[in-house]
Chain A
Amino acid sequence: MTEGKGLRLGTTLFSFTNEFHGREYSLDELIAQVGALGLGPGLEIVGFAHLRGFPEVSDEFADHFRNQVAKAGLEQSCLGINADRWIIPDKPMSDDDLLAYHEAQIRAAAKLGFPVARYQFGAGPELALRMLPLAEKLNVKLGMEIHAPDAVNSPVVMEFREMYAQADSPYLGFVPDFGSSAQRVSPAFGRYFNQIGLAPELVRLAESMWPADPGDPHATISAFEQKAEAAGYKKSDYAELFMIFGLFSKQEPEAWLEIMPQVVHIHGKFYDFDESGSESAIPYEKLLPVFVQGGYDGFMSSEWEGHFFTDDGGFPKVQAHHALCQRILNQEKGAHRR
């Protein structure tokens, strides 16, 4: 067993959705650039985004990928896998089929050298328990992402926590997404809504109803929809505002302590910085000390989701995020020494 290294930084290639989707950088080029800019050491990718034909991964490609990561001085941190139960939207996949669907992705994670697979609530706790034997055999930890509108105590998350308590395996864990610890909706979205010409009153209406009820987020979204429609707004306009309920929720930083021993990876979600270099909506100055003091041992990927509101590239943003997080971690170390 290796000694714990505490909270280590890294990057998910999701942050470069603009560059990748725009065919400006290939997968190999993104990996090389993350290494060259010192945005590791952790490297996370999204299976269905970055790998054509996923979850099929050839031996040849797996070798190539491992070499590229090593050459860039990086380390595989987490593979994003998906609970695509609704491929036929009105005929959800059976549990048996969805189990096979997940197992293929867990095998891909092992083959590519990822110690953690981020999975999603749509799998459900019973299915997650059925994935456990393969995860243990292949030495891949399963981390259910806790993403807005959820929080550590949302009903859907509690179902997983109850199953985890029964199963008691280090291979079953969580991946906090810091969008679910926002203090407000990022001002970057306000600027975007303004830029695409949405009425300021409509945007204010949505923001006045934020955050969604974590017990029933769909109810909040429906209530907003009804009010927007009653006020005479077009669906194509108000539907764009639904995303604020799915990207941001409110939760005290200390709430994560409840599940801290089960945290296997972190999505350091961010959007925008204020003049002092702090994230404009997500309180990293409070969040990171909670994880350091809580004994978290693993990676945090810088995860910029700016492709929702800008065509800007992600590299300068991730550099700024690393600078912010490094500053906070250094202060935390200093405080600890004193």
Chain B
Amino acid sequence: MFKTRVISDNGLRRWEGGVAIDIRLPWYRALPLSTVEIAEVKIDGALIAANETRFLINGESLALDALPGRDKDWWYVLDSGFVLVPKRVLEIGSQHEVSVTVGIRPPYIPGFYRMTECTKRLKVEPETQGVTR
């Protein structure tokens, strides 16, 4: 179920001095980015402000408020996106409670908005080259 799948297992890693959280689309089919919202990000219970967060998808880093304008770009259902928190320094190997809420508006159901919140306790993994898929 999507509630357990928004944040990937082993999905917290160092990234350019901060951290990246590997997340998945909580829906069964690809959606245009204009219908997706990174609604809330928390680390150890503390809310991370939207302007301190970016979203890396399809190899491109976007401000969260840029998503509504991206009606030609898609989040394919097998791909990870990454919530980037550049200023959050976490020690490799330390454990943290990470919470991400993703909102979607499936474009074939007018007026439907679905939020999926996922919370996991994760260990900080080292930075890898893999933050693209």
A residues sitting closer than 8 Å to B (CB atoms) are: 14, 17-18, 20-23, 46, 48-49, 52, 54, 82-89, 92, 120, 122, 192, 196, 218, 236, 239, 246, 307-311
Which partner residue on chain A sits nearest B79 by CB separation? A52
Give A83 to B109 CA distance when docked, in angstroms: 9
Contact B28 A82 (CB under 8 A): no
B13: CB under 8 A from chain A? Answer: no
User: What are 7 A-B residue pairs whose CB atoms fall within 8 Å in the complex?
Assistant: A14-B28, A18-B1, A52-B30, A85-B107, A87-B32, A120-B108, A122-B109
Contact A46 B110 (CB under 8 A): no
Using a CB-CB cutoff of 8 Å, which residues 96-120 of chain B contact chain A? Answer: 105, 107-112, 114-115, 117
Number of A-B contacts defined by CB within 8 Å: 76
Give A217 to B35 CA distance when docked, in angstroms: 22
- Contact residues in A for B32 (Cβ distance below 8 Å): 84, 87
Known contacts: A82-B29, A236-B117, A311-B1. The answer to whether A87 contacts B110 by CB under 8 A is no
Known contacts: A14-B28, A82-B108, A85-B110. The answer to whether A307 contacts B34 by CB under 8 A is no
Among listed B43-51, B70-78, B121-129, interface-contacting one: B70-78
Known contacts: A21-B77, A49-B30. The answer to whether A86 contacts B1 by CB under 8 A is no
Contact B105 A86 (CB under 8 A): yes
- Contact residues in A for B30 (Cβ distance below 8 Å): 48-49, 52, 54
Give A3 to B23 CA distance when docked, in angstroms: 50
Contact A52 B1 (CB under 8 A): no
B residues sitting closer than 8 Å to A (CB atoms) are: 1-5, 24, 28-30, 32, 34-35, 68, 71, 76-78, 105, 107-112, 114-115, 117
Select which of A54, A88, A308 is within 8 A of B1 by beta carbon.
Answer: A308
Q: A21-B5, A52-B76 are in contact. List 14 more A-B contacts (CB 8 A).
A: A20-B78, A21-B77, A49-B29, A49-B77, A54-B30, A84-B108, A86-B35, A86-B108, A87-B71, A88-B71, A192-B1, A236-B115, A236-B117, A309-B1
- Contact residues in B for A52 (Cβ distance below 8 Å): 30, 76, 78
- Contact residues in A for B108 (Cβ distance below 8 Å): 82-86, 120, 122
Contact A88 B115 (CB under 8 A): no
CB distance from B31 to the nearest CB of A (A): 8
Give A49 to B1 CA distance when docked, in angstroms: 16
Give A311 to B9 CA distance when docked, in angstroms: 14
Give A184 to B77 CA distance when docked, in angstroms: 31
Contact A196 B3 (CB under 8 A): yes
- Contact residues in A for B77 (Cβ distance below 8 Å): 20-21, 48-49
Give A88 to B110 CA distance when docked, in angstroms: 10
Give A14 to B35 CA distance when docked, in angstroms: 21
